[in-house]
Amino acid sequence: MNRLLSLTIALALVPAIEAADFPQPTGAESARSFPNAAIGQLLFESGRYYYSGSGTAVRPSSVLTAAHNLWDARNGFSTDIVFRRGQYGATALSQQFASRIYVLAGYRENARRYSGESLRAFSYDLGALVFRRPVASGASAGWWANPALLRPGVETIAFGYGGEYHTGDDLLSVTSRAGYRPVLGSFFESDALYFEAGMSGGPVFGFDAEGKRYVAGVVVASSIDPFTGGVRILDTAAANFIRRYMK
């Protein structure tokens, strides 16, 4: 299972992978219409290097992402974290530096003991960024701690910024009806999806019976051999985390 961090240096494009549902650019218009406009690219420093990831404004002044974007056992907390909302091409709808960082209880302990690429760490791989002012003029994407939204046979859409087979400045999406299966705790996988490096922390949307879209998980892992896409679902622990630390 490969951890999803990528250097912000743009990588050369390569042919799309055919064996799984693979992320494709959404286009600027889609990336900048709600709820997609609540998604943004994260740029941050960890140790001596800069990396990229993804996140979603799910509260007016807070962004939900993967914990491994925000902390690792070697370098501690990431620094200089900027959220570039609606990033597409050379411009973003807004840009703001985070003022506070939170990671879900249990993530650091499991990442230290088993490594940040372990199933145990992925099961706690949830983080939050808080900002001094509203991220998207007070708007945010809806979320729902309901694993049933990610069950097989129901359409899901995952979003995030690439940096592996696409440049890192275009919002990517991957749609599937394969659903996700529980692997360990709150870490779920799908054998029919591939997520690019840089999509870590991006949202996985599910739909209710009326077709309304909700963030139901966060992209945390991917693997080429075999093809698997891993998400940290939103559950009761995630809901309590969001309500307590995000504003």
User: Could you tell me where the DSSP H helices lie in 50-122?
Assistant: 107-114, 119-122
Secondary structure class of 195 (helix, strand, coil): coil
**pLDDT in the model for residue 39:** 98
pTM of the model: 0.91
A 10 A CB-CB count for 224 gives 11
Distance CA 214, CA 217 (A): 9
CB-CB contact of 234 with 143 (8 Å):
yes
Name the nearest CA neighbour of 160 among 104, 128, 204: 204
CB-CB contact of 171 with 26 (8 Å):
yes
**pLDDT in the model for residue 213:** 96
How big, in percent rounded to 5, are the helix, strand and coil portions of the chain?
A: 15, 40, 45
Going residue by residue through the chain (247 aa), what tens digit of pLDDT does each one get?
344 443 333 333 333 445 578 899 999 999 999 999 999 999 999 998 999 999 999 999 999 999 999 999 999 999 999 999 999 988 999 999 999 999 999 999 999 999 999 999 999 999 999 999 999 999 999 999 999 999 999 999 999 998 888 878 899 999 999 999 999 999 999 988 999 989 999 999 999 999 999 999 999 999 887 889 999 999 999 999 999 999 9
